[in-house]
């Protein structure tokens, strides 16, 4: 065999090259297929809804059950609900994640808690809604209010917060912890000085995921605190509030004579809020990765 012949493809090799090309193209096509619905949704929303978007739309209150006017009260209500959910889910989630990652031993209790978290993440949001009605509206006596709705959203988003935080805590090398413990540091001193400062990215990711879900969910809030129409802005957490997601539901199905562009404009606003939060998350994570510490 001459030296050049070594590089000539054998029939077997030629066949595997063909297969490899086909597989690559097939998977590429499937990936592009995945993009279609996303682009489709965005395109429809932008084409139909963008003309309805204006500063006025954001700043004026809805009139005629949402058929006219803007979405100011819904926007403000969503901010209240989301902020409430965040204020509850952030400390609870971070505390639980720290316990699970840094303190808990691997025993039946820890395993049970972990299973519970996974299951909590899988509970349908309408079930959370009913739980919220029972637990917060009636049992805790919050009534139908921003507080009850925020609590419900917080319970629903806790698993996300816990898992994201726990992952980021676990990403801090064990050697750092052992080095600290060997100096006589307590667990908490180690967490405070070494672990937490280096897991900010993951906590932030969790936080933004919480915001995205809290902004978008309808079922958990419609029985616990969101209302169809409410003229004044909320004054405190015991008020009821309008919300973007619920408003979208009402203007698209419950109210007649709504101009066709209004639901699209509301939906586009929702999507823009979520996309903006995601973009922020990506930006912050890139920024954090830029200053790698080990």
Residues that bind other proteins (CB under 8 A): 105-106, 175-186, 189, 193-194, 197-198, 293-294
- Cβ nearer to other proteins, comparing 75 with 204: 204
- Cβ nearer to other proteins, comparing 194 with 272: 194
Q: Please, what is the minimum distance in Å from the beta carbon of residue 259 to other proteins?
A: 56
Please report which helix (H) or strand (E) contains residue 62, including its range: strand 62-63
Q: Residue 285 in contact with residue 201, Cβ under 8 Å?
A: yes
As a whole number of angstroms, the distance between CA 211 and CA 88 comes to 12
- Cβ nearer to other proteins, comparing 33 with 175: 175
CA-wise closest residue to 270 among 230, 243, 250, 288 = 243
Q: Please, what is the minimum distance in Å from the beta carbon of residue 106 to other proteins?
A: 7
- Cβ nearer to other proteins, comparing 182 with 253: 182
Q: Please, what is the minimum distance in Å from the beta carbon of residue 148 to other proteins?
A: 42
- Cβ nearer to other proteins, comparing 18 with 186: 186
As a whole number of angstroms, the distance between CA 164 and CA 96 comes to 11
Tracing tokens 């079922």 back to the chain, one arrives at 219
Q: Please, what is the minimum distance in Å from the beta carbon of residue 161 to other proteins?
A: 24
As a whole number of angstroms, the distance between CA 214 and CA 268 comes to 16
Q: Please, what is the minimum distance in Å from the beta carbon of residue 185 to other proteins?
A: 5
Retrieve residue 6's tokens.
Answer: 């070594």
Q: Residue 157 in contact with residue 89, Cβ under 8 Å?
A: yes
């Amino acid at each position: 065999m001459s030296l050049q012949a070594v590089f000539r493809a054998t029939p077997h090799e030629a066949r595997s090259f063909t297969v490899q090309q086909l597989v690559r193209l097939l998977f590429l096509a499937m990936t592009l297929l995945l993009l279609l619905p996303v682009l489709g949704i965005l395109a429809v929303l932008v084409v139909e809804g963008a003309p309805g978007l204006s500063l006025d739309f954001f700043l004026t209150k809805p009139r005629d059950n949402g058929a006219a006017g803007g979405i100011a009260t819904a926007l403000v209500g969503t901010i209240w609900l989301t902020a409430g959910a965040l204020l509850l889910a952030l400390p609870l989630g971070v505390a639980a994640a720290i316990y699970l990652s840094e303190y808990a031993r691997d025993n039946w209790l820890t395993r049970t808690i972990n299973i519970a978290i996974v299951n909590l993440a899988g509970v349908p949001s309408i079930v959370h809604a009913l739980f919220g009605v029972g637990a917060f509206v009636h049992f805790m006596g919050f009534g139908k209010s921003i507080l009850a709705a925020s609590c419900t959203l917080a319970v629903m988003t806790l698993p996300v917060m816990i898992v994201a935080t726990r992952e980021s805590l676990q990403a801090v090398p064990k050697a750092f912890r052992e080095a600290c413990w060997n100096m006589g540091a307590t667990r908490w001193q180690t967490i405070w000085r070494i672990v937490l400062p280096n897991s900010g990215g993951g906590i932030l990711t969790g936080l933004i995921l919480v915001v995205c879900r809290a902004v978008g969910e309808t079922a958990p809030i419609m029985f616990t605190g969101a209302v169809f129409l409410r003229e004044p802005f909320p004054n405190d957490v015991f008020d009821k509030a309008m919300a973007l997601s619920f408003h979208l539901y009402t203007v698209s199905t419950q109210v007649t004579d709504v101009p066709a562009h209004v639901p699209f404009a509301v939906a586009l606003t929702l999507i823009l809020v979520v996309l903006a939060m995601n973009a922020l998350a990506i930006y912050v994570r890139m920024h954090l990765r830029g200053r790698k510490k080990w």
